C-alpha cells in the first residue's frame, strides 16, 4: 500500500471527490471553541485538511500521514493557499504520539481501513483533552457494495475486505477505555459523471482497492465495467455514494 499511495500522491486530489457535509458537521460540533486544535490522521494530499481550514474558524492542525510523498503534497497545498497554522508529521497511526491531552479533536477521512483501528483509537484518545472529539469519516462494506464500483466493477466489493462495519466501529470505540461512542451520521450523495471520467479514476487507482488487482485481471474487469455501464446508462452515469461520520468523545468518567 505504501507504494500505491506514493504513486498516486501527485494526482490524488484530482481523482477523488471531496464531500463538504462531514466537515460542516464537524465545524458545528466545534463551534463553541474559540481556537480549536486538531490532528488529522491519514491526511493524504490534504483535500479535507484544506476544507477544514476553510470551514472551521481559527483552526490549527497537526497533519499526520505515514507517507512522505503525501505530506509533501499537503505542505505545498496549504502554503499555496496561505494557510500557516499547521504542522506535518510523518507517522503511522499505530505509532502516533500526540501531546497528551493537547487536542480538541482528532479526525480521519477515508483512511481508518488502513489502520490498526484499536491502536489508532487508543493513541487518538491519549492526545485528546477530556471532552475532546474523535471524528471518523469512512464508508461501510454495504456502502462500498452499493457504489458504482461495487455494482459494476467485477470483484470490487469482494476484494475490499478492510472496511469496518458500523457494529465493528461501535464496538472498537466502546472497547477503548476513556472513549464513548457519541453517534454516527449516514451521508448519501447523488453523483453523476461521464464513463470516461470513471475509467480515468479507476486507471489512476483512485480507490486503493484497485491496486489489489493483478494487471491483467484489472484490464479484464475494466472491459466488463465499461460494457456493464454502457448497457445500463445512455450518456452520463448516475449513482449514489454513501459514507458515515462516526463521532466519539473522550470521557474519563
Ligand X SMILES: C[S@@+](CC[C@H](N)C(=O)[O-])C[C@H]1O[C@@H](n2cnc3c(N)ncnc32)[C@H](O)[C@@H]1O
Note the residues at the interface with ligand X (CB under 6 A).
Answer: 5, 16, 42-44, 47-48, 65-67, 70, 92-94, 109-111, 114-115
132 and 110 in contact (C-beta within 8 Å)? Answer: no
Closest CB to ligand X: residue number: 44
| CB of 91 or CB of 184, closer to ligand X | 91
Nearer CB in complex with ligand X: 66/134? 66
- Residue 49: name the closest of 87, 102, 8 by CA: 87
Least distance in Å: CB of 140 to ligand X?
15
Q: From the CB of 157, what's the least distance to ligand X, in Å?
A: 17
Smallest gap, in angstroms, from Cβ of residue 223 to ligand X?
26
- Coil, helix or strand at residue 122: helix
Phi/psi at 81 (nearest 5 deg)?
A: -95, 5
Of 198 and 229, which CB lies nearer to ligand X in the complex structure? 198
Phi, psi at 118, each rounded to 5° = -60, -40
Write out the three cell numbers for 37: 486544535
- Specify the residue, 86 or 115, whose C-beta has the smaller distance to ligand X: 115
Please state the separation of Cα 21 from the chain's center in Å. Answer: 13
Pairing of strands 86-90, 60-65: parallel
Nearer to ligand X, 200 or 220 (CB): 200
Residue 145 CB coordination number (10 Å): 16
Q: Which of 11, 87, 13 is nearest to 47 (CA)?
A: 13
Q: Shortest Cβ distance from residue 43 to ligand X (Å)?
A: 5
Which CB atom, from 43 or from 229, has the smaller least distance to ligand X? 43
- Contact 93/41 with Cβ under 8 angstroms? yes
CB 52 within 8 A of CB 61: yes
- Could you give the angle at the alpha carbon of 163 between the alpha carbons of 158 and 167, nearest 5°? 115
Residue 197 CB, shortest distance to ligand X, in Å, is: 18
Tell me how far, at minimum, the Cβ of 150 lies from ligand X, in Å. Answer: 16
Q: Are 99 and 124 in contact (CB under 8 A)?
A: no
Query: Smallest gap, in angstroms, from Cβ of residue 76 to ligand X?
Result: 15
Report, in angstroms and rounded to the nearest whole number, the Rg of the chain calculated over CA atoms.
Answer: 18
Between 50 and 157, name the residue whose CB sits nearer to ligand X.
Answer: 50
Amino acid at each position: 500500500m505504501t507504494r500505491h499511495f506514493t504513486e498516486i500522491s501527485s494526482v490524488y486530489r484530482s481523482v477523488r471527490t471531496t464531500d463538504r457535509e462531514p466537515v460542516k458537521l464537524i465545524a458545528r460540533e466545534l463551534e463553541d471553541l474559540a481556537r480549536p486544535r486538531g490532528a488529522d490522521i491519514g491526511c493524504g494530499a490534504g483535500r479535507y485538511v484544506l476544507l477544514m481550514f476553510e470551514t472551521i474558524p481559527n483552526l490549527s492542525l497537526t497533519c499526520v500521514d505515514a507517507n512522505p510523498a503525501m505530506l509533501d503534497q499537503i505542505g505545498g497545498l496549504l502554503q499555496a493557499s496561505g494557510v500557516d497554522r499547521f504542522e506535518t508529521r510523518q507517522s503511522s497511526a499505530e505509532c502516533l504520539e500526540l501531546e497528551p491531552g493537547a487536542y480538541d479533536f482528532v479526525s480521519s477521512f477515508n483512511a481508518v481501513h488502513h489502520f490498526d483501528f484499536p491502536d489508532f483509537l487508543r493513541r487518538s484518545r491519549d492526545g485528546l483533552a477530556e471532552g475532546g472529539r474523535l471524528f471518523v469519516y469512512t464508508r461501510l462494506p454495504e456502502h462500498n457494495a452499493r457504489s458504482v464500483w461495487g455494482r459494476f466493477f467485477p470483484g470490487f466489493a469482494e476484494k475490499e475486505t478492510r472496511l469496518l462495519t458500523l457494529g465493528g466501529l461501535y464496538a472498537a470505540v466502546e472497547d477503548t477505555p476513556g472513549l464513548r461512542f457519541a453517534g454516527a451520521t449516514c451521508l448519501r450523495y447523488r453523483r453523476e459523471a461521464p464513463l470516461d471520467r470513471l475509467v480515468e479514476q479507476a486507471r489512476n487507482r483512485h480507490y486503493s482497492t484497485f491496486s489489489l488487482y493483478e494487471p491483467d485481471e484489472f484490464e479484464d474487469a475494466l472491459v466488463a465495467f465499461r460494457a456493464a455501464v454502457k448497457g445500463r446508462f445512455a450518456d452520463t452515469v448516475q449513482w449514489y455514494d454513501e459514507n458515515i461520520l462516526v463521532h466519539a468523545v473522550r470521557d474519563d468518567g
